[in-house]
């Protein structure tokens, strides 16, 4: 290792999105005390500028692919795809948040700064080429998210959500770290390619049981972050308790980034023991789909229902991960992008509808929304139909590619059970549509204002993206296919 304390410029360019996000986030924190109350939303605009700058940075980095900082980071198509996705989720969340923060009279710079820090962490995660970088990226993202989940300090639900997220998240991360320590001890390296090289060479692969054990410990950490069974228990409580825009963010952004490192670690470093972890993933994918879908059947709180639905969708993505193939990876990437749009869109409706203090979060409260605000109801229906996987929506192609990849990988039973699961899922999503359109309007919709401009922008953008991906999936799929690992 050559000691070079001043990094080459190209390394900094490859690190541009993270740098830009950190600079902007720090700037926001510095400006926060200098900004008057009531003017804080300007910091949000600054955050938006920061995100756009980061997107530009990601594009510049993508034009200079390669490793950075002694192989610690790797900028390839895969990293670029997920960088864009994280930043995009950030933009959508930010747009939802303006109205939310104003309504709750909690507008402050730290919210925007934390959001940017969390996204910076995700960008580090997805471009990390090395286990310690993965750990650090994961923690940067998580620590910011813990605070975001408990953003309203005086709200009991926020408190509880943050506490659960924090304690259980740290708990699971400790398992991940322990796994990293072991794999470092066994292979003498934390670089993914190096680990793969050592593990695939049978002669120098010592302590075979320990390799499995360390893969298992790391699995716990990743599975927790993507809310895969049996490590999904935290997700419903946290998503229900957190502020609605934050729930949207948590279930789309950090989850996608966690899937990215999951895919990267298991497809590169643990490639030599693929047959073994595939079996575990198979069971986990099935259990995740079942837990998510069946528990969602009984929910009356819409945020909790969406939380279980997010678990179920993680299950579908896990099916794609289980395939352990390039088209499976591409399918997972497509699905995560599609899911980000429909999920943030659905949560945006919840953000809008819940009103001050999130009073209206029961499904029954939506009764009559179809008459009171037909446009909002129609847009929500698009997201729900996409969750179900009806053709002409992004969700259809997401499922289609995943199950096709699963069939190509001879996972016939997983495919059949997965399709059955998605049939069950139709029931609880449809219930929301039925309530919106076919139930007598309740008093909860009577005083509903029209959505704030930011939320409207998110709704229309997400719905357009959901439909566009449902008609022209190749626009994203081609990118994913080229970027998919291996």
Partner 1 sequence: MEHLWLIPALPLAGFALNGTVGKRLPQIAVSLIAVAMPVLSFLWVLKTLSSLGSLETAYIERYFTWIESGALNIGVDFMVDRLTAVMLLVVTGIGSLIHLYAVGYMAHEGGYYRFFAYLNLFMFFMLTLVLGANYLLMFVGWEGVGLCSYLLIGFYFVRKSAADAAKKAFIVNRIGDFGYTLALFLMFVQFGSLDFGKVFAAVAPMPVEHSAGLLTAIALLLFVGATGKSAQIPLYVWLPDAMEGPTPVSALIHAATMVTAGVYMVARSAVIYQHAPLAMEVVAIIGLLTAVLAATIGITQYDIKKVFAYSTVSQLGYMFLACGVGAFAAGIYHVVTHAFFKALLFLGAGSVIHALEGEQDLRQMGGLRKKIPITFAVLCCAWVAIAGIPPFAGYFSKDEILLAAHHHHPWMYWVGVVTAAMTAFYVSRAMFLCFFGQYRGHHHPHESPFIMWGPLAVLAALSLFGGWYFKVPNYLAPLFPLAEGGHEMALVAISVAAGVLGIGVAYVLYVVKPGLADSIASALGGFYKLVYNKYLVDELYDAAVVRPIVHGSRSLLWRVVDVGLIDGCVNGTATLARGVGGVLRAFQSGNIRNYAAWVTLGSVAVLVVLGIAVGGAR
Partner 2 sequence: MPSSVPLSWYLILSAILFGLGVAGFVVRRNIITVFMSIELMLNAVNLSFIAFSYQLRQVDGHIFSFFVMVVAAAEAAVGLAIILTVFKNRATLAIDDVSSLKN
Gap between the Cα atoms of 309 and 293, Å rounded? 6
Residue 296 binding partner per list partner 1, partner 2, none, with a CB distance cut-off of 5 to 8 Å that depends on partner kind: partner 1
Cα gap 453→94, rounded to integer Å: 12
By CB under 8 A, residue 276 contacts partner 1: yes
Token digits of residue 246:
């934050």
Among 236, 253, 254, 345, binds partner 1 (CB under 8 A): 236
The per-residue DSSP string of 10-25 comes to: HHHHHTHHHHHHHHHH
Identify the residue among 7, 66, 105, 170 touching partner 2 (CB under 8 A).
170
Query: Cis bond leading into 104, ω under 30°?
Result: no
245 binds, among partner 2, partner 1, none (CB under 5 to 8 A by kind): none
User: What is the distance, to the nearest Å, from the Cα of residue 481 to the centroid of all Cα atoms in its chain?
Assistant: 20
- Residue 262 interacts with which of partner 1, partner 2, none, CB < 5 to 8 Å by class: none
Residues 6+ apart with CB under 8 A from 239: 161, 247, 250, 251, 303, 304, 306, 307, 310
Contact by Cβ (8 Å): 159, 168: no
Q: How far is the CB of 204 from partner 2 (least distance, A)?
A: 13
- Separation CA 97–CA 428 (nearest Å): 27
Helix axes 77-103, 109-127, angle to 10 degrees: 160
Partner that binds at residue 25, options partner 1, partner 2, none, CB closer than 5 to 8 Å by kind: none
What residues between 134 and 193 interact with partner 1 by CB under 8 A?
Answer: 163-164, 167-168, 171-172, 175
The rounded distance, in Å, linking the Cα atoms of 150 and 154 is 9
| Smallest distance from partner 1 to CB 276, Å | 4
Nearest to 80 by CA among 323, 333, 325: 333
> Could you give the string, one character per residue 375-404, with x where binding to partner 2 holds by CB under 8 A and - elsewhere?
------------------------------
Closest to partner 1 by CB, 127 or 310: 310
Among 8, 12, 298, 300, binds partner 1 (CB under 8 A): 298
To 5 degrees, how large is the angle CA 39–CA 40–CA 44? 125
Nearest to 281 by CA among 375, 216, 345, 194: 216
Q: Does 154 bind partner 2 (CB under 8 A)?
A: yes
Tell me the three-class secondary structure of 75-95, residue by residue: ECHHHHHHHHHHHHHHHHHHH
Q: Report the SS3 class of residue 301.
A: strand
The C-alpha atoms of residue 217 and residue 351 are separated, in whole angstroms, by 36
Helix (H), strand (E) at residue 194: helix 192-200
**Contact residue for partner 1 among 15, 84, 112, 219 (CB under 8 A):** 219
Selection from partner 2, partner 1, none that 230 binds (CB < 5 to 8 A by kind) is: partner 1
Candidate residues 193, 390, 464, 468; the one interacting with partner 1 per rule CB under 8 A: 390
> In the set 122, 196, 240, 310, which binds partner 2 (CB under 8 A)?
240
Within 8 A by CB and 6+ apart from 32, the residues are 40, 43, 108, 109, 110, 113
Q: How far is residue 15's CA from residue 74's CA, in Å, rounded to a whole number?
A: 9
Q: Looking at 105-113, 184-192, 338-346, 412-420, which segment touches partner 2 (CB under 8 A)?
A: 184-192
Nearer to partner 1, 93 or 415 (CB): 415
Residue 146 near which of partner 2, partner 1, none (CB within 5-8 Å, type-dependent): partner 2
Residues from 402 through 441 that contact partner 1 (CB under 8 A) = 403-404, 407-408, 415-416, 419-420, 423-424, 426-427, 430, 434, 437-440
**Which CB sits closer to partner 2, 162 or 414?**
162
Binding mask 274-303 for partner 2 (x = CB under 8 A): ------------------------x-----
Site pattern 313..342 for partner 1 (x: CB under 8 A) = --------------x--x------------
Partner in contact with 162, chosen from partner 2, partner 1, none, beta carbon below 5 to 8 Å by kind = partner 2
Structure tokens at 486: 């291996």
> How open is the CA angle 115-120-126, to the nearest 5 degrees?
125
In the complex, what is the shortest distance from the CB of residue 296 to partner 1, in angstroms, rounded to a whole number? 7
The reply on whether position 438 binds partner 2 by CB under 8 A is: no
Minimum distance from residue 114 beta carbon to partner 2 (Å): 10
Question: How far is the C-alpha of 202 from the C-alpha of 183, rounded, in Å?
Answer: 15
Regarding 2 and contact with partner 2 (CB under 8 A), the answer is: no
Please enumerate in sequence order all residues whose Cβ is within 8 A of that of 312, keeping only pairs 6 or more positions apart, or say none: 288, 289, 291, 292, 293, 296, 421, 425
Residues making contact with partner 2 (CB under 8 A): 132, 135-136, 139, 143, 146-147, 150, 153-154, 156-157, 159-164, 166-167, 170-171, 174, 177-178, 180-182, 184-185, 188, 190, 236-237, 240-241, 298, 304
């Amino acid at each position: 290792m050559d000691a070079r304390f001043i990094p080459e410029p190209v390394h900094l360019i490859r690190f541009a999105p993270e740098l830009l996000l950190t600079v902007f986030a720090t700037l926001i924190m510095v400006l926060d005390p200098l900004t008057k109350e009531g003017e804080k939303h300007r910091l949000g605009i600054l955050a938006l500028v920061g995100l756009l700058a980061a997107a530009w940075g990601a594009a510049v980095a993508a034009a200079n692919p390669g490793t950075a900082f002694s192989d610690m980071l790797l900028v390839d198509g895969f990293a670029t795809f997920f960088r864009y996705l994280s930043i995009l989720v950030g933009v959508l969340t930010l747009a939802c948040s303006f109205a939310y923060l104003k309504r709750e009279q909690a507008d402050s710079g730290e919210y925007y700064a934390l959001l940017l820090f969390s996204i910076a962490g995700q960008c580090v995660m997805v471009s990390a080429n090395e286990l310690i970088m993965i750990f650090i990226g994961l923690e940067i993202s998580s620590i910011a998210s813990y605070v975001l989940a408990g953003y309203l300090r005086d709200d009991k639900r926020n408190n509880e959500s943050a506490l659960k997220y924090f304690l259980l998240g740290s708990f699971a991360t400790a398992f991940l770290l322990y796994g990293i320590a072991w794999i470092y001890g066994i292979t003498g390296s934390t670089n993914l390619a190096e680990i793969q090289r050592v593990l695939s060479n049978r002669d120098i692969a010592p302590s075979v049981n320990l390799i499995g054990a360390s893969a298992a410990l790391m699995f716990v950490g990743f599975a927790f972050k993507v809310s895969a069974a049996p490590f999904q228990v935290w997700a419903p409580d946290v998503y229900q308790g957190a502020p609605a825009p934050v729930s949207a963010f948590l279930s789309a952004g950090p989850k996608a980034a966690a899937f990215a490192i999951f895919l990267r670690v298991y497809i590169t470093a643990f490639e030599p023991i693929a047959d073994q972890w595939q079996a575990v993933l198979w069971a986990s994918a099935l259990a995740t789909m079942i837990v998510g879908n069946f528990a969602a059947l009984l929910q009356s709180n819409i945020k909790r229902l969406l939380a279980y639905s997010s678990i179920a969708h993680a299950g579908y993505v896990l099916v794609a991960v289980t395939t352990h193939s390039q088209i499976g990876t591409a399918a997972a990437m497509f699905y995560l992008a599609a899911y980000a749009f429909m999920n943030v869109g659905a949560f945006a409706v919840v953000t809008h509808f819940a009103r001050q203090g999130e009073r209206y979060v029961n499904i029954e409260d939506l009764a009559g929304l179809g008459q009171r605000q037909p446009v909002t109801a129609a847009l929500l229906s698009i997201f729900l139909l996409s969750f179900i996987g009806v053709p002409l929506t992004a969700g259809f192609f997401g499922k289609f590619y995943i199950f096709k990849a699963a069939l190509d990988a001879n996972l016939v039973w997983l495919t059949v059970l997965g399709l059955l699961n998605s049939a069950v899922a139709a029931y609880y999503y449809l219930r929301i549509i039925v309530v919106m359109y076919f139930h007598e309007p309740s008093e909860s919709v009577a005083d509903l204002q029209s959505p704030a401009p930011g939320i409207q922008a998110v709704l229309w953008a997400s719905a357009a993206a959901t439909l566009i991906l449902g008609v022209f999936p190749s626009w994203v799929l081609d990118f994913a296919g080229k970027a998919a690992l291996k």
